[in-house]
A and B are shown apart, each in its own frame.
Chain A
């Protein structure tokens, strides 16, 4: 009952953790990813990723610049040029 979320920049692996939900600023609109999301790929516009560690927790915002998000059976991977 958790989504595996990874945030990677060229410099390092910023996050690799299990979370409840992540809201990603896609280039054609924000989208939320929960566990079991259908395979999906999108470019990411400059903005903030919101990480919900549990259903009730307040979101944590991580600013990202220039990126790309991929959702597959293993979870969500966000490749950003800059983060944090």
Chain B
């Protein structure tokens, strides 16, 4: 059995760990509120843009001459998986879940005979993916320098990805991120970025719409923007998810630490009592012997 002194030391160390996790939990809770508000504020734009792209795309027939981002390269041999992660740990399974989803998808694609490549956003997950699929990372975007990745970053990422696309490095790009549902639930999500998925016709809007300039020009202008927006949305969802996951993970850790402290305290008290009893017995035995 551990000595009294050792137990005391352990209790102190668990207590200081608990303080850290508790502080981190409160920080995450404060940040979550902000991140959630940002994610919700971004939804109207993404929704409206999606609607506009859908109504435009349904009017334009996909042909050889239509923008490559819409039509694709006509192949799906080389698949690019864009994995958006956070930069920091202490967020429970947040990063691991996204990476897991991406790796699973990569395995499926490889089994189907496709070539898989990765583009990583954020610092986490790089090591795991590099170990599982060595040499498959063709690009990455560092967000460690920025406090909260915003639209500027999303545009930069979108540009890099489009450049890779036009350089013929891949045929299909899929984005992996975590959708924020609540502080307790974050869903790893995959979404096809390139070619743009044209949603099924969104109902009757047969009105003769006038375009200025023509449909193709608008579409060509809108599609790259749509990619930035989808990335921006993913980044925001990710931030909210990360804080949510961090908050619940730290809440758990704090509670576990509390339980451990209770257990150790009981053990400490028992040992102390046992020591006192032994001492008393010794004294009494000594007195009797006289």
Contact = CB atoms under 8 A, between A and B. Distances in A.
A13 B41 contact: yes
Interface stretch (B9-17, B83-91, B185-193, B213-221): B213-221
Interface string B33-54: 0000010011011101100100
A73 B209 CA distance: 11
Given A41-B56, A68-B52, A68-B218, 16 more contacts: A10-B42, A11-B41, A13-B45, A26-B212, A39-B207, A41-B52, A41-B210, A41-B211, A41-B212, A43-B217, A43-B221, A68-B49, A68-B221, A72-B207, A72-B209, A79-B45
Interface string A7-49: 0111111000000000000111000000000111111000000
A81 interface: yes
A41 B209 contact: yes
Contacts of A60: none
Interface in B38-94: 38, 41-42, 44-46, 48-49, 52, 56
Contacts of B52: 41, 68, 70, 77, 79
Nearest to B43: A13
The DSSP consensus for interface residues of chain A is: strand
B155 to A, nearest CB: 9
Contact of A8 (B44, B56, B232): B44
Interface string B224-239: 0100010010000000
Kindly state the interface size class of chain A when it binds its partner. 20 to 34
B221 A28 contact: no
B205 interface: yes
Interface of B: 38, 41-42, 44-46, 48-49, 52, 56, 150-151, 154, 205, 207-213, 217-218, 221-222, 225, 229, 232
Contacts of A11: 38, 41-42, 150-151
Contact of B48 (A39, A42, A73, A77): A77
A67 B210 CA distance: 17
Contacts of B150: 11
A43 B210 CA distance: 12
Given A12-B42, A68-B222, A43 B213 contact: yes
Nearest to B56: A41
B122 to A, nearest CB: 19
Shortest beta-carbon contacts, A-B, top 10: A12-B41, A39-B209, A42-B212, A39-B207, A8-B45, A13-B44, A40-B210, A10-B151, A10-B45, A28-B212
B2 to A, nearest CB: 56
12 contacts: A8-B45, A9-B45, A10-B232, A13-B41, A28-B212, A38-B208, A40-B209, A41-B210, A41-B218, A68-B222, A72-B207, A79-B52
Contacts of A9: 45
B45 A28 contact: no
The CB with the most chain B CB atoms within 10 A, among A9, A26, A73, A79, is that of A79
A54 B261 CA distance: 68
Contacts of A81: 151, 225
A76 B46 CA distance: 16
Contacts of B205: 39, 72
